[in-house]
């Protein structure tokens, strides 16, 4: 049984329709693992479909002192995408992309799969710089938050920088490598700029 306060659950019910809230134990168990050996059963899993919902959920969670964890594709190897509190999923509503400056830049929402981003860039003979071996599955939100590095170095026309548009500031972590310069916070859109 969930140990979340009834006041918190009621506040979330006022934000999200029932279909976007997973509270039964069988489905919560399905989200208890990522690609690591850790197992944590979330007390609530929320499918968030808009920025407005996200802002309200984060504000409510902060008010009730409830921890939230984002989950993209759940391929993390160290338990980053599991929680015994509240998991936030960004699914089919977060797959937008925008090609900018004739392929010099691309703006991606966090639900876009990495390989799909590369398909969008293929006509411009470019790729995003991050190139984890899991690129056919993992998503931009997880790639940026994990600062997932390239498994091969790209000699040219690869990522120069990535910026993240925040929805709501909860934490800000700066990560950097020679290929990626990325400020990560809770995010709705990631912009990549190329050499």
Ligand X SMILES: Cc1cc2nc3c(=O)[nH]c(=O)nc-3n(C[C@H](O)[C@H](O)[C@H](O)COP(=O)(O)OP(=O)(O)OC[C@H]3O[C@@H](n4cnc5c(N)ncnc54)[C@H](O)[C@@H]3O)c2cc1C
CB 46 within 8 A of CB 27: no
Q: Stretches 9-17, 23-31, 134-142, 173-181: which one binds ligand X (CB under 6 A)? A: 134-142
Instruction: Determine if 53 is a binding residue for ligand X (CB under 6 A).
Output: no
> Which is closer to ligand X, CB of 23 or CB of 91?
91
| Residues between 151 and 190 that touch ligand X (CB under 6 A) | 151, 186-187
Closest distance to ligand X from the beta carbon of 7 (Å): 25
Q: Stretches 21-29, 48-56, 64-72, 119-127: which one binds ligand X (CB under 6 A)? A: 64-72
CB 132 within 8 A of CB 151: yes
Q: Stretches 4-12, 43-51, 59-67, 147-155: which one binds ligand X (CB under 6 A)? A: 147-155
CB 112 within 8 A of CB 99: no
Of 34, 48, 106, 192, the residue at the interface with ligand X (CB under 6 A) is 34
φ, ψ dihedrals at 21, nearest 5°: -115, 125
Tell me how far apart the alpha carbons of residues 193 and 101 are, in angstroms, rounded to a whole number. Answer: 10
For the record, the structure tokens of 82 come out as 């599991």
Q: 131-138: long-range contacts (C-beta < 8 A, 24 or more apart)?
A: 134/35, 134/73, 134/75, 137/73, 137/75, 137/113, 138/72, 138/73, 138/75, 138/113, 138/114
Instruction: Determine if 138 is a binding residue for ligand X (CB under 6 A).
Output: yes
Instruction: Determine if 110 is a binding residue for ligand X (CB under 6 A).
Output: yes
SS3 annotation, 123-134: HHCCCCCCCCCC
Of 44, 66, 72, 117, the residue at the interface with ligand X (CB under 6 A) is 72
CB 105 within 8 A of CB 161: no
Instruction: Determine if 121 is a binding residue for ligand X (CB under 6 A).
Output: no
| Residues between 77 and 106 that touch ligand X (CB under 6 A) | 77, 80-81, 90
Instruction: Determine if 75 is a binding residue for ligand X (CB under 6 A).
Output: yes
> Which is closer to ligand X, CB of 56 or CB of 76?
76
* Secondary structure of residue 31 in the 3-state scheme: coil
Binding footprint of ligand X on the chain (CB under 6 A): 34-35, 69-77, 80-81, 90, 110, 132-134, 138-139, 141-143, 145-146, 148-149, 151, 186-187
């Amino acid at each position: 049984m969930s140990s979340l306060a009834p006041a918190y659950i009621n506040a979330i019910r006022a934000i999200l329709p029932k279909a976007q809230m997973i509270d039964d134990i069988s489905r919560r168990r399905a989200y208890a693992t990522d690609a690591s050996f850790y197992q944590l059963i979330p007390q609530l899993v929320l499918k968030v479909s808009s920025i407005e919902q996200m802002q309200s959920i984060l504000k409510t969670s902060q008010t009730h002192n409830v921890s939230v964890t984002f989950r993209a594709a759940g391929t993390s190897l160290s338990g980053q995408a599991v929680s015994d509190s509240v998991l936030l999923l960004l699914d089919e509503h977060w797959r937008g992309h925008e090609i900018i400056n004739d392929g010099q830049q691309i703006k991606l929402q966090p639900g876009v799969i990495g390989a799909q981003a590369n398909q969008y860039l293929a006509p411009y003979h470019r790729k995003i710089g991050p190139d984890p071996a899991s690129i056919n599955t993992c998503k931009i939100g997880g790639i940026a938050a994990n600062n997932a590095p390239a498994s091969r170095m790209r000699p040219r026309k690869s990522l120069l920088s990535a910026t993240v548009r925040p929805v709501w500031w909860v934490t800000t972590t700066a990560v950097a490598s020679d290929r990626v310069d990325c400020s990560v916070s809770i995010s709705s859109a990631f912009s990549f700029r190329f050499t």
